[in-house]
């Protein structure tokens, strides 16, 4: 007989409390695009080894090709998942989202005005959007970055997750007109949810943004820190972008409160952030307390 998730958690928590090992907050992990929970298994094992007794939820939603489904459809289910896990742990949880999973996790957190996510770790995620051939060719081999807007900025393109955060710096008018995801969660488009999206972010105790110059997939790599291209293809630091200066989603508020941590780690390829032991120990484990 398979026990419900709630029962298993209560039993595990009770056992750990008795042994005195329940010292770390539960961690929820969200995988990246075109992969699944199994791709995050090494990271799960490292967490369990270094922080014994940690309850780790390795989310298996939208694996493989299903990860290309509409971004909002994925966020709806991730939000419900985080809400369910959060209710099981009133002491608070940690959420780590890798690559596309970090963007979906952030949107889910923003959509939960009363969440109890204490720390959100964005691990090499395109938080300011994506515009690059190397990433594109992983999914759509025949598309070129300069012409991808013809697909993504359309009704059909918006049915894909990538279309929701494809941010062409030289097609901003089309981006704002057609994109149904990133401009909303970044409050570039004002909606009835804009205030709650900001409140969901400032509710965090800590926002950790991790990325590096040798990622070779997230383009520009600084998007992992909310920095992005301008129309001349120059990368503008996030502190000079409107998303920060206007504090549209609360990043400035978090920084001023000492709750924003920017991690730049060179010599790490995109596929190594969660699979290299030294990288995990250096840039992830310090924030799983």
Q: Which of 99, 125, 179, 224 is catalytic?
A: 99
The CA distance from 103 to 119, in Å, is 15
Q: Which residues contact 177 (CB under 8 A, 6 or more apart)?
A: 153
Q: What backbone torsions phi and psi does residue 201 show, to the nearest 5 degrees? A: -75, -45
Minimal CA–CA distance to 149: which of 180, 128, 125, 170? 170
Q: Which of 67, 111, 215, 225 is catalytic?
A: 215
The CA distance from 286 to 122, in Å, is 14
Tell me, yes or no, if 215 is annotated catalytic: yes
Q: Which of 31, 89, 225, 270 is catalytic?
A: 270
Minimal CA–CA distance to 124: which of 105, 102, 142, 146? 102
The CA distance from 268 to 212, in Å, is 7
Tell me, yes or no, if 137 is annotated catalytic: no
Tell me, yes or no, if 269 is annotated catalytic: no
Residue positions annotated with a catalytic role: 99, 215, 270
């Amino acid at each position: 007989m398979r026990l419900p998730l709630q029962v298993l958690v209560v039993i595990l928590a009770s056992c750990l409390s008795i042994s005195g090992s329940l010292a770390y907050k539960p961690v929820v992990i969200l995988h990246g695009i075109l992969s699944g929970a199994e791709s995050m298994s090494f990271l799960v094992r490292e967490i369990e080894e270094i922080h014994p007794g940690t309850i780790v939820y390795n989310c298996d939603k939208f694996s493989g090709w299903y990860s290309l489904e509409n971004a909002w459809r994925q966020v709806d289910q991730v939000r419900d998942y985080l809400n369910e896990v959060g209710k099981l742990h009133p002491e608070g949880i940690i959420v780590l989202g890798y690559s596309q999973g970090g963007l979906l996790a952030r949107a889910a957190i923003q959509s939960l005005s009363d969440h109890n996510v204490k720390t959100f770790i964005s691990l090499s995620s395109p938080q300011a959007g994506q515009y690059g051939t190397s990433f594109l060719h992983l999914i759509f081999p025949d598309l070129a970055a300069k012409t991808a807007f013809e697909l993504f900025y359309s009704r059909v393109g918006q049915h894909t997750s990538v279309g929701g955060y494809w941010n062409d710096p030289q097609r901003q008018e089309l981006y704002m007109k057609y994109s149904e995801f990133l401009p909303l969660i970044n409050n570039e488009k004002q909606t009835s949810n804009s205030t709650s999206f900001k409140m969901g972010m400032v509710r965090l105790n800590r926002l950790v943004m991790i990325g590096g110059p040798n990622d070779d997939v997230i383009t520009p790599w600084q998007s992992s820190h909310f920095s992005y291209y301008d129309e001349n293809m120059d990368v503008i630091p996030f502190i000079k972008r409107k998303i920060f200066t206007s504090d549209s989603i609360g990043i400035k508020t978090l920084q001023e409160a000492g709750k924003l941590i920017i991690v730049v780690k060179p010599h790490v390829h995109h596929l190594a952030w969660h699979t290299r032991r030294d990288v995990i120990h250096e840039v992830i484990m310090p924030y799983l307390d």
